[in-house]
Amino acid sequence: MSIENELARKILDPIHGIIRLTATEIDFINHPLYQRLRNIKQNSFLYKVFPSAVHSRFEHSLGVLHLSYEILQNLHLNAIRYGKKYNDGHVFSGINAIPAHNVQELRLAALMHDIGHGPMSHQFDSFMPNKEQLTALIDDEYHDILKVLTCEKEQVEHEQLSLIFTLVIFNELKKEGKISPEVKVDNIFKVIDKRYGNQSIVTTVNDREVDILPLMTSIISSCPIDADRMDYLLRDSYFSGVKCGIYDYNRLFMSVVPVEEDGKIYLAYKESGIDSIAEFIGARSGLFAQVYFHKTNRAFSSMLNKLCENMLEKHNENLIISDLNDENVLELDKRGIDSLGEFYINCSDDYFLNEKVAEWVEITETEGINKKILDDIINRHPWSKIYEAKHFLKDASITDKGNGKLKENLHAKLTPILERYLEQHQYAIDVVSDNAFKDIDKTEVKLLVKNIDNTYKTKSLDQCGDKLDQYQSIKYFIRVFVDRDIKKSLPSDLISEINEAVMTEIACPD
């Protein structure tokens, strides 16, 4: 980890203090495709509820880079302590011998993991083209990135855009001689999206080859804790002005240990750190319940979802692809990846909502309806919540996914009830859920479980229900929003009818 000598630049952050950076990272940050993240809010509509929540994906990504390296450093220190105390063959003692270029790849992956997010963050995903459409637009050198999508009609995700934009910046800096020849862009890709390539990063550590990819991906993205979650909990809590996302990450750092199995290096937590894991899960759960799922935030999100549905329902061509192919928008010599990059650079949250969506609304068949919804969003005129219910799964295990059909079934049952009194564009059924151990089936994190003789054994996290089930929490927030201009005209018994349908579905799911 001799990259320490390269950390000569710095940025001051309100959450983590001084964040140290390499010259290469500064070059990535200074690229327009990265600078655009300053104009993409971390949480699209949260500022309409918590006025100071205007922080962006830009500083969040810097925070993920910082925490990723902090985790790596603590893995090294904890491995020394663990090895001295137990020397049982579990611990990987070569963290400090991981080549500097691999550490740089990890840091760049952390820095770039969100660069593919469009305006309005996750709500932009519904506008994304599918694999076939984007493949036809961009140059051949980017096609391998889209191969992680198995179906031609499968919608492109922001993760693939992150890889594409990373490659654009990487190629430009490489031409300028600003990238070390040892740093491989394919390795950065694998850490951002482990579906890419051969799913391994084999490197030489202390004169032998090991696969460090499981460790690197777990640092940035894993269940239930990773650098991404660690940063956005503290950052969103701080800028929202609430205290429910606070946890002690120093205690978490003390619990992580690198372990080796079959030539692969994994991130593991000691069993003694379960209380710290539980604290983190509780902080995350509180932030979802009190902040992300706040009724007004969900009202605006539901309105935008309704607007997207209306616009996309009868529009045969993808709106983004249609824009990029419009000769009036971009010159003929700015096709392909250049046009895509320029579209993203130009589209800040405010521009996209006030200009681009307004432009698209004008070409839809339901222009008047869509324009009213858009105006209500822009002018902070949220729809009214006429119904709310919360549903908690009892005795859930860490491998439980919850009721995957609950949302679909509730929509099917509530839609005919609401459409007796309302037009389709006047209401929204909003069902959101939070699972403390979401994606545990994909995680490669381990738990070091203590034996009766004071030794440890390594177990996959998804096999540790006996230790972790008590901390599992799966909850649903079920709401119905209506255009506040017609709320007074609704019959008084409508809410009782909605509640009966919801309670029946919860009690006797299909």
Tell me: the pLDDT tens digits for 137-189? Answer: 898 999 999 999 989 989 999 999 999 999 999 999 999 999 999 999 999 99
Q: Is residue 288 part of a domain?
A: yes
Quick check: is 267 in a domain? yes
pLDDT at residue 365, as a whole number: 66
- Give SS3 for 130: strand
401 vs 39, more confident: 39
What pLDDT, in 10s, does the model give residues 331-358?
Answer: 444 468 998 999 999 999 999 999 988 8
Helix (H, G, I), strand (E, B) or coil at 17: strand
- DSSP 8-class letter at 248: -
pLDDT of residue 200: 95
Cβ–Cβ under 8 Å, residues 104 and 3? yes
Q: How far is CA 337 from CA 33, 169, 401, 509, in A?
A: 12, 12, 38, 47
Kindly compute the dihedral angle of the four CA atoms of residues 62, 66, 68, 70, in this order, to the nearest 10 degrees: -170
Distance (Å, whole) CA 40 – CA 116? 11
Distance of CA 206 to the CA centre of its chain: 35
Return d(Cα 8, Cα 23) in angstroms, integer: 7
The confidence score (pLDDT) of residue 273 equals 93
CATH of the domain at 69: 1.10.3210.10
3-state secondary structure 200-233: CCEEEECCEEEECHHHHHHHHCCCCCCHHHHHHH
Instruction: Please spell the DSSP secondary structure of 395-433, one letter per residue.
Output: T--TT----TTHHHHHHHHHHHHHTTTS-GGGEEEEEEE
Tally the domains of the chain.
Answer: 1
Comparison of pLDDT for 488 and 63, the residue scoring more: 63
Closest to 118 in 3D by CA, of 110, 126, 106, 109: 126
Neighbours of 251 (CB within 10 A): 14
Nearest alpha carbon to residue 408 among 473, 475, 478, 472: 478
Average pLDDT of the chain, as a whole number: 92
Which DSSP string corresponds to 431-471? EEEEETTTTGGG---EEEEEPTTS-EEEEEGGG-HHHHGGG
CA distances for 54 relative to 3, 41, 109, 291, angstroms: 33, 6, 24, 14
- Render pLDDT for 407-463 as a digit per residue (tens, 0 to 9): 999 999 999 999 999 998 899 999 999 999 989 999 999 999 988 888 889 999 999
Distance CA 245, CA 233 (A): 5
**Which DSSP string do the residues of 341-366 spell out, in sequence order?**
HHHHHH--HHHIIIIIHHHHHTTSTT
Q: Which of 85-94, 264-273, 344-353, 498-507 has the lowest mean pLDDT?
A: 85-94
Residue 56 pLDDT exceeds 60 = yes
Task: Give the confidence band of 330 by pLDDT, cuts at 50, 70, 90.
Answer: very low
Confidence grade of residue 316 (pLDDT, cut at 50, 70, 90): low
Of 15-24, 80-89, 140-149, 482-491, give the lowest mean pLDDT range: 80-89
308 has a pLDDT exceeding 90: no
Task: Classify the C-alpha dihedral 66-68-72-75 as positive or negative.
Answer: positive
Structure-token pair, residue 129? 């083209």
Residue 392 near residue 473, CB atoms below 8 Å:
yes
- Domain assignment of residue 486, yes or no: no
Query: What percentage of the chain reaches a pLDDT higher than 70?
Result: 96
Cis previous bond, 224, omega within 30: yes
Average pLDDT (113-130) is 88
In a domain, residue 344? The reply is yes
Q: Is 390 strand, coil or helix? A: strand
> For position 366, what pLDDT does the model report?
72
Which of 9-13, 88-92, 237-241 is least confident? 88-92
Position 298 in a domain: no
Confidence of residue 325 (pLDDT cuts 50, 70, 90): confident
Give CA–CA dist 238/240, Å, rounded: 6
Number of CB atoms found within 10 A of residue 420's CB: 9
Res 403: pLDDT? 81
The percent of residues in the chain predicted with pLDDT above 90, rounded, is: 77
- Whether 186 maps to a domain, the answer reads yes
Under a CB-based contact definition with an 8 Å cutoff, are residues 372 and 310 in contact?
no
Using 50, 70 and 90 to split pLDDT, how confident is the model at 361? confident
Give the pLDDT confidence score for residue 65 in this predicted structure. 98
CA dist 510 and 504 (Å) reads 10
DSSP-assigned letter for residue 107:
H
User: Is 446 part of any domain?
Assistant: yes
For residue 146, the enclosing domain spans: 2-292+315-363+438-471
Q: What is the pTM of this model?
A: 0.94
State both tokens at 86: 């137990």
Residue 74 has pLDDT above 90, yes or no: yes
Choose among 269, 279, 288: nearest CA to 246.
279
In the predicted structure, residue 3 carries a pLDDT above the cut 50: yes
Report if residue 145 sits inside a domain: yes
